[in-house]
Amino acid sequence: MHTANYHRRAKAVFFVFFVLLLACIARLFFIQSLRSGYLASIAQKQHNLFVELEPRRGTVYDVNLKPQAVNIAADSLFASPVEMKEADKQKAISKLASILNLDQSYLKDRFLRKKSFVWIARKITAQQSEAIKNLNIKGLGFIKETKRCYPNMYLASHIIGFAGLDNSGLEGIELSCDKYLKGETGWATMLRDARQKRLDIYEKIYLPKDGYDIVLTIDEVIQYIAERELDNAFKTYHAKGASIVVMNPYTGEILAIANRPTYDLNQYGQVAKDSRRNRAVCDLFEPGSVFKIVTASAALQENAVKEEDRFFCENGSYRVANHILHDHHPQGWLTFSQVIEESSNIGTTKVAQMLGPEVVYKYVKLFGFGSKTGIDVLGEISGMIKQPRFWSKTSIGAVPIGQEVGVTAIQLVSAVSAIANGGQLVKPYIIKEIRDKNGETIKKFSPVLIRQAVSPEIAARMRKILTKVVNNGTGQLAKMEEFSSAGKTGTAQKIEASGVYSHDKFVASFIGFAPAENPAVAIVVTVDEPHPTYFGGVVSAPVFKKVAEEVLKYLKVKNHPIGDMAKLNEVKRIN
C-alpha cells in the first residue's frame, strides 16, 4: 500500500514537472518565433542611439563675398532621465530653471519621462553651457549644433530675413532660398554600454549634405550708406515708416534696400511683425507727383507736345468735371518742361487731357505699374491701377498726377530706371548666384529686359527735363556738387479711413538717378507721414543727394558722357 502511494506521488510530481517543461518550451517557442523581433528592437534601442547629423546651412554673402548670415557652434542640452537619480533630477530642475530661464513645470515634465534621451534646451549660449557644466549633474549631456548668426545685425534685415531654431528659413532670403541653404540632414547610430553611456562609436552613419551659399547683388557698403541716411530722415521727421531702394538702372541689380522701422536679425523674436515688413515691396501708396514722369514720357513718345510748348496753368485753380484741381504754387504760363520742373498738377492734367485715358493707361502699364516687377524676394504686391472703363470723370485729373493709383517703391525704381537707361524696363533682382561649399557656381542669375517702355530718344529728352527739376525746380535739394543728377519730387496726400484725402498725413518721395547723363545708380526714397515738414523736395531729396554722392564716390564713377555703361551692361529679353 505504501509502495503504491509512493509511485502515484512520483508520477504526479513527474507529470507536474512535465507540464511545466512543456509550458517553458511553449513560452520559449513563443518568444523565439513571435516576439523575437520586438525584443531584439528593445535590445537594439538599449545599446544603440539614433542621432541626427545636422548639415551646415549655407552662408549668405553680399556681392563682394562679405558674409551676412553665417553659422556658429552652439551647445544643445539633453538629459537621460532613466539613468538619473531622483536627487539629481530635483537639482537639475531647480538650477536649470534660472540658468535657462525656463518654467520648472516644463522641466519636471521632461525629467519625469522614462526615456534615455530628452531635449532640454537647444542652441544655448556659451555662458549658459559653462554654468550647466559646472553643476556636474549626472545624466545631462551636450550635443554640438550650429546656430544662425547675423554679424551685421540690422543691416539689410528685411532682405536677408532669418532662420529659426531648427535652421529652417522663416523670412526673407532665408525663407525664399531655404531649399538651397538648408542642405540634407544626415544620421548616425551610436553604440552604448549596459549603463546607457555613449561610446562615441558609430555603427552606421549617413553624412549630411551641406547647404549651398547665396551671393546677393547687395553691396554691404552701399547698404550701410542707404540705411544710415534713411534712418536720419526717419528720426528727424518723426515718420511712421520709410524705404529706400538703390539699383543699377541698366542691369536691375539691387545694390541696397532698407526700410524703417527695422530690427536686429539676432533678436527677431523680440520685435513686432510690423517692423519685419519689407515695405519697399509690400506697401501700397499713392505716389503723387513722382508719377508725372509717366505722363510726361507718354506725351513726348506720342509726339503730342514738345518741351517748349506753353500751357496756361490757370493761376493755381482748374476745374476737372465737378472737382477743382489746385497747384501748390499758383502758376501762369509754363512750358511743358517747366510744368514738370515746377510739378504743376494743372499743367500735367492738361497734357493728359490731350492724350486721353487710354493712352495714359497704356504708358502706366508700359512702365510696369499695376504688375509685379518679379523681384526675387517674398511678399511683393502688384499695385493698383484701374482700367479706363472704370475711370470717373475726374480720373483724368487724378491718375496722371499720381492719385487713384497704388504703387510700391520697387515699381518706382524700375520706372525711373527705364528713363535712366534709354527706355528699357528691366527686372530688378537681388540674388546674383548660388554656390556650393567649394565656391563652384550652381546657378547664376542674369539681367532680364521686360520691354521697351519708351524709345531711347524720348528717354534722353526726359533725362534733360528731370535734370532741370533738380537744377531749377522742386528737386534742388537733390543737387550735388561733384555729380549731375536728375529726378522728380512727390508729395502725396494719404487717404483717411473715411475715404477722403488727409490734410495732415502725406508720403514724401523722391525718385532719381545720377550722374544725369550716364546713370550709375537709380534711387527711390519714400518717407511715410513725416512731420512737421512733409514735402518730398525737402524730406526725401536730401536723402537721395547724400546717398548718391557717397555711392558714386565709392563706385569711383566719373561724370562722363553716356555710352560706356550701356556697353558694359547687357540684358536679355524675356521669352
Contact between residue 403 and residue 179 where contact means Cβ atoms under 8 Å apart = no
395 noted as active-site residue = no
* b/e burial code for range 276-296 (CB count within 10 A of at least 16 → b): bbbbbbbbebbbbbbbbbbbb
Asked if 146 and 70 touch (Cβ cutoff 8 Å), the reply is no
Amino acid at 523: I
DSSP label at residue 496: P
Cβ–Cβ < 8 Å for 285, 390 = no
Question: What's the gap between Cα 166 and its chain centre?
Answer: 19
Residue 123 burial (CB count, 10 A): 17
Q: Which residue type sits at 241?
A: G
> What's the order of all strands across the beta sheet hosting 186-192?
48-53, 186-192, 198-206
Half-sphere exposure of 85 (CA within 13 A, CB side): 5
Query: Residues 226, 246: contact at Cβ < 8 Å?
Result: yes
Listed residue (326, 520, 318) closest to 417, CA to CA: 520
Cell of 233: 530722415
The size of the chain, in residues, is 575
Instruction: Say if CB 220 and CB 62 are below 8 A apart.
Output: yes
State the distance between the two ends of the chain, measured CA to CA, in whole angstroms: 113
Cα 542 from Cα 479, distance rounded (Å): 8
* Phi/psi of residue 174, nearest 5 degrees: -55, -35
Tell me which amino acid residue 170 is.
L
Annotate 312-329 with three-state secondary structure: ECHHHEEEECCEEEECCC
DSSP-assigned beta bridge partners for residue 245: 257, 524
Task: Find the catalytic residue in 157, 243, 289, 540.
Answer: 289
DSSP state of 212: P
Cell of 558: 566719373
For residues 463 and 12, what is the distance between their CA atoms, to the nearest angstrom? 116
- HEC assignment per residue over 332-380: CEEEHHHHHHCCCHHHHHHHHHHHCHHHHHHHHHHCCCCCCCCCCCCCC
Helix axes 456-471 and 409-420, enclosed angle (nearest 10) = 110
What is the DSSP track for 468-486?
HHHHTSTTGGG--SSS--E
257, 159 contact by CB (below 8 A) = yes
Give Cβ neighbours of residue 313 (< 8 Å, ≥ 6 apart): 327, 330, 331, 332, 333, 334, 339, 344, 346, 347
The residues assigned a catalytic role are 289
